Amino acid sequence: MFNAALFILAAVALIVSWRKDREKTGKALQIAKKQFFNLLPSMLGIIGLIGLMLALVPREVIAGFFGNDSPLGILVISLIGSITLIPAFIGFPLGASLIAAGASVTAVACFLTTVLMVGVVTAPMEIELFGKRFTIWRNAAGLVTALAIGIIMGAIL
């Protein structure tokens, strides 16, 4: 229902924009089309890998290791999130799939927040731009904050 409302709202906004200035709207649609096709291979690859992982790892393993809020399971899924470089629009559906497979809200919240807040893969570039000390502190603070958020989300939900 919410998705349908967003699509309707986007369609209405597009129609209003088209009526106001066809040239600018056409250019915007061309840019959006180009960006979509540039992102499509990456998105399909990530979705394929996630689907493969969920198909190969039995639900019992996910539920057993990430479903009981064990400190080891939370730590492992947080470390996986820290080294995983996926965009949020892929991470959130993955989180829903993990919950459907039996993972706890705490584990999934820790995973998603570390995906978004900790950047082990991007650390070398960040070190070049901001320095080693800053990068280490930012990632450590991100990890601690992500764990706290995950525990709070698990308690609330």
Over residues 109-151, the pLDDT tens digits come to 999 999 999 988 889 999 999 999 999 999 999 999 999 999 9
Amino acid occupying residue 113 = T
pLDDT in the model for residue 42: 77
pLDDT for res 39? 81
The per-residue pLDDT for range 17-61, each reduced to its tens digit, is 999 999 999 999 999 999 989 888 877 877 787 778 778 888 888
List CB contacts of 145: < 8 A, sequence separation 6 or more. Answer: 113, 117
pLDDT value at residue 91: 86
Residue 2 or 21, more confident: 21
The CA-atom distances, in angstroms, between 113 and each of 18, 35, 139 are 38, 26, 12
- Token look-up 């349908």 returns 4
Q: Confirm if 149 and 118 have CB atoms less than 8 A apart.
A: no
Q: How far is residue 71 from each of residues 64, 65, 117, 129, measured CA to CA in Å?
A: 13, 10, 20, 34
CB 44 within 8 A of CB 82: no
Token digits of residue 144: 């601690």
pLDDT value of residue 30: 95
**64-95: per-residue pLDDT in tens?**
888 888 899 999 999 988 988 788 878 888 88
pTM metric for this prediction: 0.72
Going from the C-alpha of 102 to that of each of 49, 61, 99, 112, the distances in angstroms are 19, 9, 5, 16
For CA atoms 63, 68, 69, 73, give the dihedral sign. negative
Structure confidence at residue 74 (pLDDT): 92
